[in-house]
C-alpha cells in the first residue's frame, strides 16, 4: 500500500501542480472556506492584542532559550525519561528511525499498529516502511484515517483531510468500507469511530508524536481533540513516541504558555479537549497503560538547520499551522501542490534542511512576501526573512561552500552576467547615458518576446525620449535650469 499525492502524479514540478490546483474549483473552494474560518477562529481566540503579543514574545524566548542549550536539555530529558522507565532512542536519519520502530514492534511480535497524528512519522513514511515488512499501520486521527483510506497524504498539518468535503468522504467510506452513503458529518464520524475502536482494542503497538517533551520531569505532552491520541498511547501494550530533537523544553511551567499559543493559533480553542502528559509506562500496581514506552528522537536535517544561527529559528516551530492558514499562496494552491510532508510557509523553511533546497527550488519564491505568516507565528519565526535568505542560497554558486543543504540549485552563469552588466550600467553615468540614448533612438529594435512575461503582457517598448531628455528640453525652453 503505497501512498500517493494526487496532483503530483501528473506533474513533477511545483509550477505545474500549482496550475492544476488553481484550475480545480472544488479544491480551491474547500481551502478558501476552511482557511477563512480558521483565521476568524484564531482572531477570536486572541481578543486582546497586548496579551497575544506578550505571550508570543514569551513563546519565542522559551523556544530560543531551549535551543540555546539544546544538547544539555536532550541529555537531561533522556536521563529523566530513563529514570521514569521510558526507553530513549536516537536516530540521525528516517531510515534509522524506521528500523528502530520496526525493531521494537518485532521484539513484541507485533503485527498491528495504531497511530495517533504524528507529522514526524509522515517524515519517516513509517506506514509504507512497516507495510513492506508485514506490519499494518493504521492512522486513527479521523482526518488522517480518511486520507490514508484514499491513499493520499495530508494536505494540512492540523487538518489532514481539509481538501475533501463531506460528499467526497461519504463516497470514500461507501467504496472502501461498504457503508451506505451519507453526507451527515455526524454519521460519517460514527463510522470512523466504530471501525477504529476495534483497532485500538486489538493493536499490539501504539505510535504517537509529541508536542512538547519536558526535560525537568521527563514528560511527553500531547494535545488533541478526538481521544485517538489517548487511545493510541494507552490501550496497546507498547507505546512508541517519535519526535524531532527540537521539541524539548526545559521546565514543566514552559508548556503553560506554549500549549495556550498552540491551541489558540491552530484552532482558535482556549485549550484542546485533551492534554495528555505521559511520564512513564504502567507501574506494577496500575491496571492499564502501556507496559513499554519508547521515545525515538529524530534528527533528519534538524542539526543542519541548527548549525546556522539564522536558520536555527526554524526549529522554534510548534507546528500550529497558523502560517498556512494565513498564507494567500497556500489557500489558493492547497497543501498537495508543495509535494512535501510540510506544506505552506513552514514547509518552505523546513523542507530544505530535510530534503535539500535543490529538491524544492521553487518554494522560496512561491511567496508574495506579504508577511502574514511571520505576523501570526506564535513563536515569532521571521518566516519572510528566512524565505529571502533561502532565495539567496538558491542562486549562490554551488561550487562555493554551501550553507544550506542543496543550495545553489538556481545558480545560473547567464543570470550572474546579466546582473554584473546591470550593475556596471547603473554605476557608470557616461555608460548609462549612452545606453539611454541608444535605447530610445533604436526603440524599434526592442525584442517582441520577453520570456514568460509576454505570454500575458505586451512587450515593453522604450519611450521615444527618456524622461531625462524631456526634462532637460523642458528646462531649456522655459528659461534655464533651476537655481
Partner 1 sequence: MSARANILGKLRNSLAGTTPRPDEFDERLVTAPWRYAPEDRIDRLRSLMEAVHTEVHPCRSDNWPELVAELLNKRNLTNLLCAPSREHGRALQAHFEATEQKVELLAYDQPVEAWKEELFWNVEASLTGTLGGIAATGTLVLWPDRHEPRLMSLVPPVHIALLKASEIHDNLYDMMVAQDWAAGLPTNVLLVSGPSKTADIEQVLAYGAHGPRELIVLVLEDA
118: which 3 cell numbers? 504524528
Q: How far is the CB of 62 from partner 1 (least distance, A)?
A: 7
Of 229-248, binders to partner 1 (CB under 8 A) are: 230-231, 234-235, 237, 245
For partner 1, the binding residue among 193, 420, 464, 468 (CB under 8 A) is 193
| Placement of cell 476552511 in the chain | 34
* Percent helix / strand / coil, the chain, rounded to 5: 55, 10, 35
Determine the 3-state secondary structure of 56 from DSSP.
Answer: helix
Which entry of ligand SF4, partner 1, none binds 379, CB below 5 to 8 A by partner kind? ligand SF4
Choice between 120 and 377, CB closer to ligand SF4: 377
Which entry of ligand SF4, partner 1, none binds 162, CB below 5 to 8 A by partner kind? partner 1
Is position 377 an interface residue for partner 1 (rule: CB under 8 A)? no
| Strands 136-139 and 112-115, bridge-based pairing | parallel
For ligand SF4, the binding residue among 346, 354, 372, 386 (CB under 6 A) is 346
Cα 46 to the center of its chain, rounded Å: 23
Which entry of partner 1, ligand SF4, none binds 9, CB below 5 to 8 A by partner kind? none
Is position 55 an interface residue for ligand SF4 (rule: CB under 6 A)? no
Neighbours of 468 (CB within 10 A): 13
Is position 119 an interface residue for ligand SF4 (rule: CB under 6 A)? no
CB-based contact 209:118 (threshold 8 Å) = yes
Which entry of ligand SF4, partner 1, none binds 370, CB below 5 to 8 A by partner kind? none
Query: What is the rounded distance in angstroms from the CA atom of residue 8 to the CA atom of residue 333?
Result: 13
For partner 1, the binding residue among 5, 7, 70, 77 (CB under 8 A) is 70
Q: How far is the CB of 227 from partner 1 (least distance, A)?
A: 3
Instruction: Report the alpha-carbon angle 426-473-463, nearest 5.
Output: 55
The contact mask relative to ligand SF4 for 173-192 (x = CB under 6 A, - = no) is --------------------
Choice between 239 and 264, CB closer to ligand SF4: 264
Choice between 52 and 410, CB closer to partner 1: 52
Which entry of ligand SF4, partner 1, none binds 121, CB below 5 to 8 A by partner kind? none
Q: How far is the CB of 305 from ligand SF4 (least distance, A)?
A: 12
Which entry of ligand SF4, partner 1, none binds 318, CB below 5 to 8 A by partner kind? ligand SF4
Q: Which stretch binds ligand SF4 (CB under 6 A): 45-53, 210-218, 279-287, 374-382?
A: 374-382
What is the chain's Cα-based Rg?
Answer: 27
The contact mask relative to ligand SF4 for 298-327 (x = CB under 6 A, - = no) is -------------------xxxxxxx----
Neighbours of 360 (CB within 10 A): 23
Query: What is the rounded distance in angstroms from the CA atom of residue 170 to the CA atom of residue 167?
Result: 5
Of 87-116, binders to partner 1 (CB under 8 A) are: 90-92, 96
Query: What is the rounded distance in angstroms from the CA atom of residue 147 to the CA atom of residue 155?
Result: 9
Count of residues near partner 1 by CB under 8 A: 98
Is position 475 an interface residue for partner 1 (rule: CB under 8 A)? no
Judged by the rule CB under 6 A, the positions of this chain that interact with ligand SF4 are 317-323, 345-346, 376-379, 381
Amino acid at each position: 500500500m503505497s501512498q500517493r499525492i494526487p496532483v503530483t502524479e501528473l506533474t513533477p514540478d511545483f509550477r505545474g501542480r500549482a496550475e492544476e490546483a488553481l484550475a480545480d474549483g472544488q479544491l480551491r473552494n474547500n481551502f478558501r472556506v476552511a482557511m477563512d474560518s480558521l483565521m476568524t477562529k484564531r482572531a477570536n481566540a486572541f481578543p486582546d492584542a497586548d496579551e497575544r503579543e506578550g505571550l508570543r514574545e514569551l513563546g519565542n524566548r522559551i523556544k530560543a532559550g531551549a535551543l540555546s542549550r539544546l544538547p544539555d536539555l536532550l541529555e537531561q530529558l533522556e536521563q529523566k525519561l530513563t529514570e521514569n522507565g521510558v526507553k530513549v532512542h536516537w536516530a540521525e536519519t528516517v531510515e534509522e528511525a524506521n528500523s528502530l520502530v520496526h525493531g521494537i514492534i518485532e521484539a513484541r511480535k507485533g503485527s498491528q499498529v495504531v497511530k495517533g497524528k504524528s507529522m514526524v512519522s509522515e517524515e519517516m513514511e513509517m506506514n509504507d516502511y512497516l507495510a513492506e515488512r508485514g506490519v499494518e499501520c493504521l492512522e486513527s486521527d479521523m482526518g488522517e484515517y480518511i486520507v490514508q483510506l484514499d491513499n493520499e497524504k495530508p494536505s494540512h498539518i492540523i487538518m489532514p483531510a481539509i481538501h475533501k468535503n463531506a460528499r467526497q468522504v461519504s463516497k470514500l467510506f461507501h467504496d472502501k468500507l461498504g457503508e451506505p452513503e451519507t453526507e451527515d458529518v455526524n454519521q460519517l464520524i460514527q463510522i470512523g469511530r466504530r471501525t477504529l475502536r476495534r483497532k485500538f482494542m486489538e493493536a499490539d503497538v501504539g505510535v504517537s508524536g509529541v508536542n512538547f517533551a519536558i526535560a525537568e520531569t521527563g514528560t511527553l505532552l500531547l494535545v488533541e481533540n478526538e481521544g485517538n491520541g489517548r487511545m493510541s498511547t494507552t490501550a496497546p501494550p507498547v507505546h512508541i513516541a517519535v519526535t524531532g530533537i527540537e521539541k524539548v523544553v526545559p521546565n514543566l511551567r514552559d508548556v503553560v504558555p506554549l500549549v495556550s499559543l498552540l491551541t489558540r493559533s491552530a484552532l482558535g480553542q482556549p485549550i484542546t479537549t485533551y492534554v495528555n502528559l505521559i511520564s512513564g509506562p504502567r507501574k506494577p500496581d496500575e491496571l492499564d497503560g502501556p507496559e513499554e514506552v519508547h521515545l525515538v528522537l529524530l534528527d533528519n536535517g534538524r542539526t543542519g538547520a541548527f548549525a546556522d544561527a539564522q536558520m536555527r529559528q526554524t526549529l522554534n516551530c510548534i507546528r500550529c499551522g497558523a502560517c498556512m492558514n494565513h498564507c494567500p499562496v497556500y489557500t489558493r494552491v492547497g497543501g498537495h501542490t508543495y509535494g512535501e510532508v510540510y506544506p505552506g510557509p513552514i514547509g518552505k523553511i523546513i523542507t530544505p534542511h530535510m530534503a535539500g533546497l535543490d529538491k524544492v527550488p521553487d518554494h522560496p519564491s512561491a511567496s508574495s512576501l506579504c508577511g502574514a505568516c511571520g505576523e501570526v507565528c506564535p513563536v515569532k519565526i521571521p518566516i519572510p526573512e528566512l524565505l529571502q535568505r533561502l532565495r539567496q542560497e538558491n542562486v549562490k554558486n554551488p561550487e562555493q561552500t554551501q550553507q544550506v543543504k542543496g543550495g545553489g540549485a538556481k545558480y545560473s552563469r547567464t543570470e550572474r552576467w546579466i546582473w554584473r552588466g546591470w550593475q556596471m550600467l547603473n554605476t557608470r553615468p557616461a555608460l548609462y547615458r549612452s545606453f539611454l540614448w541608444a535605447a530610445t533612438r533604436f526603440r524599434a529594435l526592442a525584442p517582441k518576446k520577453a520570456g514568460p512575461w509576454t505570454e500575458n503582457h505586451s512587450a515593453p517598448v522604450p519611450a521615444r525620449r527618456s524622461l531625462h531628455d524631456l526634462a532637460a528640453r523642458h528646462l531649456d525652453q522655459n528659461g534655464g535650469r533651476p537655481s
